[in-house]
Structure formats: structure tokens, C-alpha cells
């Protein structure tokens, strides 16, 4: 009886490690990566420079394909850099099988359609830059599960809807660019959770509502550009200390009220302050003259 009790959990452990090994083996082969990339090639309908057409062939190693970099240790696809290739096509779900992918760039091509949900499996991603394409649909909420994500650029696409709240779980995020999309809704106050954010670009996105004061709580911020939205309300009059802040771009919105003096007390590295085409009134706060690095002040 005693032996039996001992044996059952032992068997369970053996069995589960067997299953884990099986699952791991199914996804840890360079052939999986090759199949995923060949599926991508199949989804390219125009390749004007014949880059993938002539180069991505099963007779050579995936690691030697143009735009592909493999890790030195695992020899699995680590980076996919397909920027400026003039490619037209869609992203197949198979790309989610590139389980070692850290860097993915599709910058400046003509990809369209939505991002398949299978990409949610790319848990190692640190850089995801797909700006200047024709991607559409809502911004997928699974982007928020990439816990190591450092740079996310979806700029210059046709994404619609609200900013998914899950994005604010990306605690390692350094750069977020959603500019030039057709978004709706507000800038959620949870944005303050992005405590490592350095670059925040939300230009021409269609966002409305006020600028949450939590934005001024992100002490790492260097550039914040909210130009050309429908933002309203006044600026918070909190005493903020943002010693890295270099650029504030709030122009072309519907912001009102006076410029709060407190806001500019501790911005020692502010170089550019763009506030023009809003509904501000009152005087330029004296605190601004304490921003000794200020080179551009645009208020008209």
C-alpha cells in the first residue's frame, strides 16, 4: 500500500516529463523555422526585387537566407529583418512557430491584413516593428503578453479601435509608436505603468479625451509626441520631475486652460516644447526660462 502511494506520483512525474519532452521536440527544430518562413514566402504576392523568390530556397540553410539571422548557440531563427524590401503579402499563422524569434521587422513594405493570433506564441520577442505597411484590424491584445518587449512600432498602418489595456503590462517597453493609425478612445491612465518607457509616439491617431496625469509619472520618458489628435482638457499642474524629458509635442489638439507653471519646474533637459494649434490662454510660465536646454518653443 505504501509502495503504491509512492509509485503513483513518481509515474505521474515520469509521464509528464515525457510529455514535456515530446512537446519541446515538436517545436525545437530548424525545420519548423524553415516551414514557417516558406509559408511566409508563399504568402508574398509581389517581391519586386526577387529577394525571397531567388534566395529563400530549401537547398540552402535557413540561416543563410537574406533577412534571416540565427542564434549562435541554438542555430534557430532569432531575427527576421525584412525592411524596405517592397514586399506585398500577408502574414501566415505559421510565423508563430518561430519560437526563438527575438527581433521581427517588416518596416516599410506593403503587408496587409490582420496579425494572426498565432503570433501570440512568440514569447521571446523584444523588437516588433511593422511600421509603414497596410496592416489593419484592431491592435491585438496578445501583444501585451510579450513580457520582454522593448520596442513596439505599429505606426503608419490602418489599425482601428482602442489601445488594448494589455499593452500597459509591457514592463520592459522602451519605445511605443502607434502614430498614423485610425484609433479611437482615450489614452488610458494605466499608461503610467510603463515605467521604463523612453519614447512615446501617438501622432495623428484620432485619440480623444484628456492627457492622463500618469504620463508625467513616467520618469524615464524622453520624447512624448501626441501631435494631431483630438485631445482636450487642461494640462495637470503637478510638480513633475522628468530629468530625461527632451521633447513634448502636444500641438494640433484641443487642449485648454493655462500652462501650469509647476509642470515646467523640473525639466532640466527639455529641448523642444510644441504646443501650437490648441486653445491655451494666459501667459508663458516663468518656470520655462529655467529649462536651460530649451531650443524650440512653439506656442502659436
Is residue 108 involved in binding ligand NAG (CB under 6 A)?
yes
**Which member of 156, 181, 205, 227 binds ligand NAG (CB under 6 A)?**
156
Q: Which is nearer to ligand NAG, 143 or 242 (CB)?
A: 242
Q: Which is nearer to ligand NAG, 7 or 238 (CB)?
A: 238
Q: In what order do the strands lie in the sheet with 127-129?
A: 68-70, 77-81, 103-105, 127-129, 151-153, 175-177, 199-201, 223-225, 247-249, 272-274, 296-298
Shortest approach of ligand NAG to residue 2 CB, angstroms? Answer: 43
| Strand duo 223-225 + 88-89: pairing | unpaired
The one among 131, 133, 205, 227 contacting ligand NAG by CB under 6 A: 131
**β-strand partners of 152:** 128, 176
Measured from the CB atom, is 81 or 126 closer to ligand NAG? 81
Among 20, 58, 84, 137, binds ligand NAG (CB under 6 A): 84
Q: Which is nearer to ligand NAG, 144 or 253 (CB)?
A: 253
End-to-end CA distance of the chain: 86
Of 136, 188, 192, 285, which one interacts with ligand NAG (CB under 6 A)? 192
Residue 173 C-alpha cell reads as: 517597453
Which residue, 146 or 250, has its beta carbon nearer to ligand NAG?
250
Rounded Cα distance between 13 and 150, Å, is: 36
Separation CA 115–CA 112 (nearest Å):
9
Query: Per-residue x/- mask for ligand NAG, residues 32 to 71, rule CB under 6 A?
Result: x--x------------------xx----x---xxx-----
CA dist., res. 32 & res. 97, Å (int): 7
Considering the complex, state which of residue 60 and residue 293 has its C-beta at the smaller distance from ligand NAG: 60
Question: What is the number of other CB atoms lying within 10 angstroms of the CB of residue 53?
Answer: 12
DSSP label at residue 162: P
Say how far apart CA 211 and CA 177 lie, in whole Å: 17
Among 70, 89, 97, 105, binds ligand NAG (CB under 6 A): 97
> Is 93 one of the binding residues for ligand NAG (CB under 6 A)?
yes
Question: Taking CB under 6 A as the rule, does residue 151 contact ligand NAG?
Answer: no
User: Please, is 281 exposed, middle or buried when counting C-beta atoms within 10 Å of its C-beta (0-12, 13-18, 19+)?
Assistant: exposed
Task: List residues near ligand NAG by CB under 6 A.
Answer: 26, 32, 35, 54-55, 60, 64-66, 84, 86, 93-94, 96-97, 108, 118, 131-132, 155-156, 180, 192, 213-214, 217, 230, 239, 253-254, 262, 265
Amino acid at each position: 500500500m505504501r509502495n503504491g502511494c509512492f509509485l503513483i506520483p513518481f509515474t505521474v512525474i515520469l509521464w509528464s516529463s515525457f510529455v514535456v519532452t515530446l512537446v519541446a521536440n515538436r517545436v525545437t527544430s530548424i525545420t519548423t523555422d524553415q516551414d514557417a518562413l516558406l509559408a511566409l514566402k508563399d504568402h508574398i504576392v509581389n517581391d519586386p526585387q526577387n529577394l525571397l523568390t531567388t534566395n529563400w530556397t530549401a537547398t540552402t540553410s535557413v540561416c543563410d537566407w537574406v533577412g534571416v539571422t540565427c542564434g549562435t548557440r541554438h542555430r534557430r531563427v532569432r531575427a527576421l529583418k525584412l525592411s524596405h524590401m517592397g514586399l506585398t503579402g500577408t502574414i501566415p499563422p505559421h510565423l508563430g512557430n518561430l519560437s526563438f524569434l527575438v527581433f521581427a521587422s517588416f518596416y516599410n513594405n506593403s503587408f496587409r491584413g490582420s496579425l494572426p493570433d498565432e503570433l501570440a506564441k512568440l514569447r521571446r520577442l523584444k523588437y516588433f516593428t511593422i511600421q509603414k505597411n497596410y496592416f489593419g484590424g484592431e491592435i491585438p491584445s496578445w501583444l501585451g503578453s510579450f513580457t520582454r518587449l522593448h520596442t513596439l512600432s505599429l505606426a503608419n498602418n490602418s489599425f482601428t479601435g482602442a489601445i488594448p489595456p494589455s499593452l500597459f503590462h509591457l514592463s520592459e517597453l522602451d519605445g511605443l509608436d502607434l502614430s498614423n493609425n485610425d484609433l479611437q478612445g482615450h489614452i488610458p491612465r494605466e499608461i503610467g505603468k510603463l515605467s521604463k518607457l523612453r519614447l512615446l509616439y501617438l501622432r495623428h491617431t484620432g485619440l480623444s479625451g484628456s492627457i492622463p496625469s500618469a504620463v508625467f509619472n513616467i520618469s524615464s520618458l524622453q520624447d512624448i509626441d501626441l501631435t494631431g489628435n483630438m485631445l482636450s482638457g487642461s494640462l495637470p499642474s503637478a510638480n513633475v520631475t522628468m530629468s530625461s524629458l527632451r521633447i513634448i509635442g502636444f500641438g494640433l489638439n484641443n487642449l485648454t486652460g493655462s500652462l501650469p507653471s509647476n509642470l515646467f519646474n523640473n525639466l532640466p533637459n527639455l529641448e523642444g516644447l510644441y504646443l501650437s494649434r490648441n486653445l491655451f490662454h494666459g501667459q508663458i510660465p516663468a518656470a520655462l526660462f529655467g529649462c536651460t536646454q530649451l531650443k524650440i518653443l512653439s506656442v502659436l
